[in-house]
């Protein structure tokens, strides 16, 4: 078996595939592959950067991690719905194709039997089979429902890049064998589904900053740093709690702090309160 390699994982599945006869299933499979190929071409992902696995009513793509994840996500949100409308407009009711899709990232190994192995791949498959994604597709009119993993949301979606509006995604929790999986559903969460976007999004639908996000609140608007430390500047010596940095301090902007500075626990003050100039 090869060593695990970082990949982009794309999964697409046909709704109600087993309800069709053999002729209809063969047609739907051709449409699935055609739509997948067009989306990847639209994202400028060459065939040499892809590995495909056939799962009958679904297709699995392992894509080189150097291919643009943003371009692929943008293609899924724009090109796939367009292709589905074009196909279904001319198809009979028994040949309508509706798709669930999952986009994730992670480490996947390929064994000697050309099988794919990796917990990240397993998690992506569980997202594809999740009740919330199935319910979302049932309620959609554009024949397409997409869910992305937490890593895809953190790396691409939350940054609100052109063609990938962060406000259109909602956080959901999916049950897994090893515990709940966090994911992000494109579009509204269906009634009765388990969603938790109230804990992940700030005012106006923007992602709420968290300790690992690198986001920092604006001066005077955020909470005190961890551990209860506080920052005091005007009206005395700057204090980050209580440990002392003695002597006059020069500020990057050009001013000078006269007196001692305290850094550490709360409640301590400088021996000689200074002032900033």
Is residue 268 pLDDT above 60, yes or no?
no
Q: Are residues 38 and 79 in contact, defined by beta-carbon separation less than 8 angstroms?
A: yes
Global model pTM greater than 0.85: no
Q: What is the pLDDT of residue 196?
A: 57
Q: What is the pLDDT of residue 219?
A: 37
Domain ranges of the chain: 5-205, 226-276
C-alpha to C-alpha distance for 40 and 231, rounded to whole angstroms: 50
Token pair for 14: 């046909």
Per-residue confidence at 114, pLDDT binned at 50, 70, 90? confident
Is residue 81 pLDDT above 80, yes or no?
yes
Q: What is the pLDDT of residue 240?
A: 38
Got the DSSP string for 79-145? Answer: HHHHHHHHHHHSS-GGG---EEEEEEEEEEEE-TTS-EE-HHHHHHHHHHT-HHHHHHHHH-SSSEE
Residue 63 φ/ψ, nearest 5 degrees? -120, 140
Using DSSP bridges, classify how beta strands 169-174 and 275-276 pair: parallel, antiparallel or unpaired.
Answer: unpaired
Higher pLDDT, 8 or 92: 8
Token pair for 17: 């595939």
Q: What is the pLDDT of residues 22-78, one digit of tens each?
A: 999 999 999 999 999 999 999 999 999 999 988 778 999 999 999 999 999 999 999
Q: What is the pLDDT of residues 125-151, one digit of tens each?
A: 999 999 999 999 999 888 999 999 999
Q: What is the pLDDT of residues 199-249, one digit of tens each?
A: 444 333 444 434 333 333 333 344 434 444 333 334 444 443 444 444 454
Over residues 88-102, the mean pLDDT reads 92
Q: What is the pLDDT of residue 73?
A: 97
Q: What is the pLDDT of residue 248?
A: 52
Over residues 175-198, the mean pLDDT reads 79
Q: What is the pLDDT of residue 1?
A: 76
Token pair for 24: 């209809």
Matching CATH number, 5-205, of 3.40.50.720, 3.20.20.70, 3.30.70.1230, 3.30.450.40: 3.30.70.1230
CA atoms within 13 A on the CB side of 188: 7
């Amino acid at each position: 078996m090869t060593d695990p390699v970082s990949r982009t994982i794309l999964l697409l599945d046909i709704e109600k595939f087993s309800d069709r006869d053999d002729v209809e299933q063969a047609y739907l499979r051709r449409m699935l592959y055609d739509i997948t190929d067009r989306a990847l071409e639209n994202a400028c992902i060459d065939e040499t950067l892809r590995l495909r696995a056939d799962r009958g009513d679904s297709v699995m793509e392992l894509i080189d991690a150097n291919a643009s994840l943003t371009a692929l996500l943008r293609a899924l949100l724009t090109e796939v719905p367009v292709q589905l409308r074009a196909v279904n407009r001319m198809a009979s009711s028994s040949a309508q194709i509706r798709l669930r899709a999952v986009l994730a990232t992670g480490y996947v190994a390929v064994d000697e039997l050309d099988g794919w192995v990796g917990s990240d791949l397993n998690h992506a498959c569980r997202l594809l089979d999740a009740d919330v994604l199935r319910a979302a597709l049932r309620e959609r009119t554009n024949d397409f429902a997409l869910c992305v993993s937490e890593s895809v949301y953190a790396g691409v979606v939350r940054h609100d890049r052109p063609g990938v509006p962060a406000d259109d995604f909602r956080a959901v929790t999916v049950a897994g064998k090893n515990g709940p999986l966090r994911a992000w559903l494109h579009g509204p969460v269906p009634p009765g589904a388990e969603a938790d976007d109230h804990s992940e999004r700030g005012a106006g639908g923007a992602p709420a900053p968290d300790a690992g996000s690198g986001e920092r609140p604006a001066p005077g608007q955020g909470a005190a740093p961890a551990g209860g430390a506080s920052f005091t500047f005007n009206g005395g010596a700057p204090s980050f709690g209580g440990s002392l940095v003695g002597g006059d301090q020069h500020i990057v902007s050009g001013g000078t702090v006269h007196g001692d500075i305290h850094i550490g626990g709360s409640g301590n003050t400088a021996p000689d309160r200074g002032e900033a100039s």
